[in-house]
Structure 1
Amino acid sequence: MFDWYRTGSPRERKTFWACFSGWALDSYDMQMFSFLLPTIIALWGLTKAEAGMVGTAALLSAAVGGWIAGILSDRYGRVRILIFAIIWFTFFGVVAGFAQNFTQLLIARTLQGFGFGGEWAVGAALMAEVINPKNRGRAMGFVQSGFSLGWSGAVLIITVILASFPPELAWRIAFWFGVIPALVVLYIRRHIQDSDAFVQAISSPAPKASISTVFKPQYVKLTTLSSILVIGLQAGSYVILVWIPSLLKERGVESGSLIATILIMAAGCFAGFAMTAYLADKLGRRPTLILLSLLSWVVTVTYMLIALNPLITHVMGFLVGFAAIGMYAALGPFLSELFPTHVRTTCMGFSYNVGKSLGATAITGVGLLSGQVGLAQAIGIFCLGAYAISVIALLLLPETKGISIEELDAHVPHTSFTDTPSSKTPKTA
């Protein structure tokens, strides 16, 4: 499973650590806020609606930021945008720590969100272009495992900070502390370079990426299906992660301390990333994502049907992390291999971030439906629908295992976006 790293070139290993650390920092900063929110609500007397508004604003701005970052990355380089994204969301994280009221915090978090969105698609594209195609799934899968490191790091560090300082100061220190890991990431990224594929693409006569690129005839079908795929996956994972704790509480299950629960789920994430990365190269991208979509729904149904105790609850938490989050290890290489280099991050950024934003609406849907049929049934219905959507999109998308970046780029039309693509470019089923 780790041969790809041992046999990889120094450039491949440096790029891996640069993207891994960035994804961990992105996860850390996003998860940190959820742990600080109860403290901020208590200190400022925020309503649940106001608290939700801050979280939603960051999520929506991340979607817009991810699309913009993708366009800029295709025009000016992956490494430049990755470094700029880190500086951007770290700066506004520090600004958020100085907020004196709800409005200031809302503005700071909204601006910070623009930086979050760029990390995933741009980093995934850089990895796809640098790593050997036969190892792409495993390498990119382990990059995704940075999510579990950032997630577990957030709960440990924020717990220590909240326990060590008065609440009115602790949440501010937590925001300011983000500068330290950001400097580490910037240090790791100081010597990485853009891929040879990007250097060739930027100097080619192919049309430059723009806002309208994703709607052009060559790409609109793939971007639409990719967006639908992400909508399904994100809706399912959001529903599980947000509503399962409420279901457990409704049933009177004591799931243990917050730290233990999250660390167990984070361990499941890491194991899921590793296994998914392996299967993506062994079985293919589509079979792996279909398999884990089905497993995620089975885990959800199991929550609804079996009697739970603390031990089973932790086992189920591990499986949630393994399947519902771990499957994203195959998503990065899959989307990267659908689009040529000169528009790769533009199309990926659009598909992933639009899918993420629309998928998040399932959280509200479960809340509304639960009043009619009960929480467990609402979770099951939404997860069934979400993963059914993702499977349908997967069946309509092409398998991309082993595809060469050079092959994708060799048949790019260079005159206009309306030229007919070559028969060697990926086709939908």
Structure 2
Amino acid sequence: MAMAARPWYKDLSGQHWRAFWAAWIGYALDGFDFVLITYVLTNIADEFHLDLVTASTLISASFITRWLGGAVVGSIADRIGRKNAMIAGIWLYALGTFLCGFAWNYWSLFAFRLIVGLGMAGEYSASSLYVLESWPKHVRNKASGFLISGYNVGSLVVAFIYPFITAHFGWRVLFYIGIVPVILTLYMRKNLPEHTEWQQTSTEKAGGISFFKLFSPRILPVFIAITLFIFAAFLYSWPVQSLLPTYLKSIGYDATGVSQVMFAANFGTLLGCIFAGFLGDRVGTRRAYIYSLLISLVLILPFFIIGKANIWLLGLLIFVLLFVSQGIAGLHPKFMSMYFAPEVRGSGVGVAYNLGSLGGAIAPIWGAFFANLMGLGTALAVLMFFWTFVVVALVVFDVPGRLLQRTAGIRSYEVQNTTPEGTVEPSQV
């Protein structure tokens, strides 16, 4: 009789979980700080006498510096360690958010939002690599999915506390709360070791700044492919993320209805990130993307056809749609890390992700443009379908892996997984 499979969590020590929860809380607070401004934008516009278009540029400000944050903090991660880079990223976004509460005009607030972008970009790559490189290889998809769920939790927390805080204390207090993550860094510095793949290879790394190594002939093609992958992923996800409330209002839902559907959407994304981790470890990272996104293609059209006919059915459809389409983003850190060697992984993941995230800045503009031609619902459906198909194609044909094979002679930097029993089996990347 075959022995029962060893539960995955039995392979994780207390140190693994301490590393995870420290990074997860950092991600949750990152999500809290980043989306905060979207809730108080009208308050800011009123106080500083801004029109809505000008006020909206305060959201885009953090995107402007994300690539730089990925380059600087990512290079720190490759040079002096993931833990130190993670702490630096948290300090930057927490300080930037705190300073937003003291803004005296539009330009001061814009400048402080640039600091937020620097920090959150660097924290994304450093935290994800710290956990991924600390956990055993056969559960790293779970680590990735679980970790990204923290961002969604932070976003939900803002939604819950925003009405009370602004009604009783004003919008600035929400930004003052943003300094709280600094407390977490005190724990990190004292209690978390640098027991990662980075530490194992740090003595072998050549000098130099890892960001500039991305432009070497061996790495550049893979870097471009990963950047395009993330760019396409943002272009299929952000039209819906940014314009879904507007679409719901356009088909006749009031504020309560919009809130209910948006809760279903956000909750679906949260659970989807967690499920993606299990699916990725079960069938392989690439297969998890393919299965999830193919299912999402089937659900896009029904969601936009149903309209206002039934809010419960609409909520169920958006829950399932974002469960598979947005939840799979929980595997982005794992997917990207497979194609960069440890000595450039911090800057590679950080810069590729944050350059690709510019798709998130373009997506709402494209959505609004095409809405003038074909209606908002149709525009969102077309953009989501097309760019989802592009992502599926990039994964099916393993474009980054093929380029890596051509330049480095391997398809992935995770070509083998060690099982709990100690044997070695091919990785289902």
Scaled to the shorter chain, the TM-score interval is 0.7 to 0.9
- Name 1:104's counterpart in structure 2: 108
1:200 and 1:33 map into 2 onto residues whose CA distance is 40
The equivalent position to 2:123 in structure 1, one of 108, 116, 119, is: 119
Q: Which moved more, 1:60-69 or 1:31-40?
A: 60-69
Pair 1:189–1:388, CA change in 2 (3 A): farther
Quote how far apart the aligned CAs of 1:106 are: 0.8
The equivalent position to 1:39 in structure 2, one of 40, 43, 46, is: 43
Please state whether the residue corresponding to 1:252 is helix, strand or coil: coil
Please state whether the residue corresponding to 1:46 is helix, strand or coil: coil
Is the CA contact 2:130–2:196 (under 8 Å) kept in the aligned structure 1?
A: no
1:102 and 1:86 map into 2 onto residues whose CA distance is 24
Residues 1:301 and 2:309 aligned together: no
- Name 1:377's counterpart in structure 2: 378
Pair 1:19–1:260, CA change in 2 (3 A): same
Quote how far apart the aligned CAs of 1:219 are: 1.5
Number of aligned residues: 409
Quote how far apart the aligned CAs of 1:263 are: 3.6
- Name 1:392's counterpart in structure 2: 393
Please state whether the residue corresponding to 2:45 is helix, strand or coil: helix
Paired letter, 2:325 = A
Structure 2 unaligned segments of length 5 or more: list them: 416-428
1:59 and 1:161 map into 2 onto residues whose CA distance is 26
Residues 1:231 and 2:231 aligned together: yes
Please state whether the residue corresponding to 2:138 is helix, strand or coil: helix
1:326 and 1:388 map into 2 onto residues whose CA distance is 16
Please state whether the residue corresponding to 2:377 is helix, strand or coil: helix
Once the two structures are superposed, the pairs formed by residues 86-97 of structure 1 within 5 Å of their partners are 86-97=90-101
Please state whether the residue corresponding to 2:369 is helix, strand or coil: helix
Once the two structures are superposed, the pairs formed by residues 12-51 of structure 1 within 5 Å of their partners are 12-51=16-55
1:313-362: per-residue Cα shift (whole Å, max 9, x none)? 32234234412321112221111122111111111112111111134312
2:243 and 2:6 map into 1 onto residues whose CA distance is 35
Is the CA contact 2:22–2:184 (under 8 Å) kept in the aligned structure 1?
A: no
- Name 2:264's counterpart in structure 1: 264
Please state whether the residue corresponding to 1:145 is helix, strand or coil: helix
Question: TM-score, normalised to structure 1's length?
Answer: 0.88
Quote how far apart the aligned CAs of 1:189 are: 5.6
The equivalent position to 1:421 in structure 2, one of 405, 408, 426, is: 408
Please state whether the residue corresponding to 1:175 is helix, strand or coil: helix
Task: Compute the RMSD of aligned alpha carbons.
Answer: 2.7
2:328 and 2:87 map into 1 onto residues whose CA distance is 27
Is the CA contact 2:219–2:407 (under 8 Å) kept in the aligned structure 1?
A: no
Please state whether the residue corresponding to 1:212 is helix, strand or coil: helix
1:180-215: per-residue Cα shift (whole Å, max 9, x none)? 344245435631122342123221144544332222
Quote how far apart the aligned CAs of 1:399 are: 9.4
Residues 1:276 and 2:276 aligned together: yes
2:195 and 2:269 map into 1 onto residues whose CA distance is 29
Quote how far apart the aligned CAs of 1:260 are: 4.2
1:152 and 1:256 map into 2 onto residues whose CA distance is 16
- Name 2:349's counterpart in structure 1: 348
Once the two structures are superposed, the pairs formed by residues 114-193 of structure 1 within 5 Å of their partners are 114-165=118-169, 170-184=170-184, 186-187=186-187, 190-193=190-193
Q: Which moved more, 1:187-196 or 1:345-354?
A: 187-196
Quote how far apart the aligned CAs of 1:285 are: 0.9
Quote how far apart the aligned CAs of 1:81 are: 1.1
Paired letter, 1:240 = V
**Percent identical across equivalent pairs?**
24
Is the CA contact 1:124–1:336 (under 8 Å) kept in the aligned structure 2?
A: no
2:356 and 2:196 map into 1 onto residues whose CA distance is 30
Paired letter, 2:157 = G
1:206-234: per-residue Cα shift (whole Å, max 9, x none)? 45443322221221222111111111111
Q: Which moved more, 1:66-75 or 1:24-33?
A: 66-75
1:291-313: per-residue Cα shift (whole Å, max 9, x none)? 22233343332222124332223
Question: TM-score, normalised to structure 2's length?
Answer: 0.88
Pair 1:206–1:264, CA change in 2 (3 A): same
Q: Which moved more, 1:79-88 or 1:389-398?
A: 389-398
1:28-85: per-residue Cα shift (whole Å, max 9, x none)? 1011111111211122221122112111111121232122211121011111111111
- Name 2:362's counterpart in structure 1: 361
Please state whether the residue corresponding to 1:218 is helix, strand or coil: coil
Pair 1:398–1:373, CA change in 2 (3 A): closer
Once the two structures are superposed, the pairs formed by residues 189-200 of structure 1 within 5 Å of their partners are 190-200=190-200
Residues 1:9 and 2:10 aligned together: no
Quote how far apart the aligned CAs of 1:425 are: 5.2
1:369 and 1:161 map into 2 onto residues whose CA distance is 37
Pair 1:372–1:422, CA change in 2 (3 A): closer
The structure 1 segments of at least 4 consecutive aligned residues displaced by more than 4 Å after TM superposition are 257-262, 422-429
Paired letter, 2:248 = L
Pair 1:420–1:48, CA change in 2 (3 A): closer
1:221-262: per-residue Cα shift (whole Å, max 9, x none)? 221111111111111110111122222211113462665444
